[in-house]
Amino acid sequence: MEQWVVVTSMIVAYLMITLAIGLRAGKGLSATVDGYVAGDRNFGLLVMYFVTGATVFSAFAFLGGPGWAYSRGAAAFYILSYGVLGMAPWYVIGPKVARIGRRLSLVTQAQLLTARFPSKTLSILIAVVSVVALIPYITLQMKGAGIVIEAVTDGHVPLWLGALVSYGIVLVYVLMSGVAAVGWTNTFQGIFMIVIAWALGLYLPYALHGGIGPMFAEIIEARPEMLALPGLTGSGEAWSWGGYTSAIIISAVGLTMWPHIFMKAFTARDERIIRRTVVLFPTFQLFLVPVFLIGFAGVMAVPNLEQADFILPHLILTIDLPLIVVGLFCAGALSASMSTGDALLHATASVAVEDGIRPIQAMSEHTQRWLIRVLMVVAGAIAYFFAISEGMSLVVLLLTSYGVIAQLAPPIVAALFWARATTAGVLAGLLAGSGTALIGFFNPALVPFGLHEGIMGLLVHVPVLCLVSWLTAPQERTHTDQFLNPKPLDNG
């Protein structure tokens, strides 16, 4: 039997197991928006740990991470840095959000913000910003799945078909079971991809160079610039410290604000689970160590690979590995892609309905659930269109999304910690910051010092928010106290 047939059979088996877990996860949930979007607020530590970790580390980590280590060297370390920094604020913010969400029956980010800053316009604006940032992120996951399947099947299953089948499976279980499917499939997929990443990260340097030490010795001798911080740009020139540090900062800020991660604060059983998840999260970051080793293993072994994001599947297919290992690698890569893609699809549709449509059109809970499912399919179709089109590298695509989503940070901080913030200030800041980030993205020459355009957005956003808030009437203290000093939950 040909290799691609065996590998394809293993991929199908993996997808069927994932589908079964996803469909089973929805059993016993209430037929409410709370059940579909927030899992009846009953996620325990195990699911919270893996839904957070597996959601953060996606196709960009499993494919883009090795791709950057291979093509840009030490520049890839920014991925390791921002994960720890980005999750740390949740130790304080997460429990506070959980308290407010449970008491006011909130399920999305915008609902929290508009509860503090009442405005239909603000809700719709946040929905637009969130969806604009989430669609490229979903695209990245689909593209990653398609890349892997196309590579390991020698092109017999092209990128468009691999992405279509794998995300067809994702759509089915998320449509049926909502966030519960996201939680339990992420637990399965998170365990799977960690095991595969470590196995490959330790084996490939040994197979190609005789070990990790000899591998780095070869790189230092022949390509020392690959290991010198802050690494290289996509064109092979030295990356500026401004570009490197701003990529870390904008990604850390954005990580805290991603709707699909933020919304998980509303799913936790109690506050202690959120804090423990934050404390344990750096252990999940260890997943990146073998991922980078894989990329560095290809530096000397594959001098001129045209598409850096293909380095991991390329190495797998050029080394004489048993078919079962190739199949397991593919399943691991699909785990990384699907464990984020399902959360993203669910969050995109939930945000669009709860924050973009419901504020201007009242509807029953049944209608909300139905519309979330419809828009999930629409979001998936849009992302699929971009996934099968030619585009940027996976990491560049992700960095672009972070610049937009990071603009939600000032309003969240203002809502939870600044009594003097006003609705007008938040609206003005969000418009100014998002507009600046988008202008910087389309006109890089306007952004100084090689900074990320999202940083420029924040530098405009915060002063505008503060100035307009000071120039407008403050909110009643009884209103702001609900958000600045929420009472602890009974079980918190």
Tokens of 283: 């252990």
Give the whole-number percent of the chain exceeding pLDDT 90: 34
Rounded-to-integer distance, Cα 181 and Cα 2, Å:
34
Q: Does residue 60 lie in a domain region? A: yes
Rounded-to-integer distance, Cα 303 and Cα 406, Å:
36
pLDDT tens digits for range 273-324: 999 999 988 888 888 899 999 999 999 999 888 888 788 888 888 887 777 8
Helix (H, G, I), strand (E, B) or coil at 232: strand
**Virtual torsion, Cα 128, 129, 133, 136, nearest 10 deg:** 30
CATH, residue 18: 1.20.1730.10
Q: Does residue 328 lie in a domain region? A: yes
Residue in 161, 209, 201, 218 with CA at minimum distance from that of residue 384: 161
What pTM did the predictor assign? 0.81
Q: Does residue 468 lie in a domain region? A: no
Helix 241-257 and helix 77-87: axis angle, to 10°?
40
Rounded-to-integer distance, Cα 264 and Cα 351, Å:
13
Q: Does residue 397 lie in a domain region? A: yes
| For range 383-405, the mean pLDDT | 72
CB 454 within 8 A of CB 254: yes
pLDDT tens digits for range 158-170: 988 988 999 999 8
Residue 492 has pLDDT above 50, yes or no: no
Domain containing 31 equals: 3-405
Q: Does residue 384 lie in a domain region? A: yes
Residue in 168, 116, 198 with CA at minimum distance from that of residue 419: 116
Q: Does residue 398 lie in a domain region? A: yes
pLDDT band of 152, cuts 50, 70, 90: confident
Q: Does residue 443 lie in a domain region? A: no
Helix (H, G, I), strand (E, B) or coil at 139: helix
Q: Does residue 76 lie in a domain region? A: yes
Total count of domains within the chain = 1
| For range 356-374, the mean pLDDT | 89
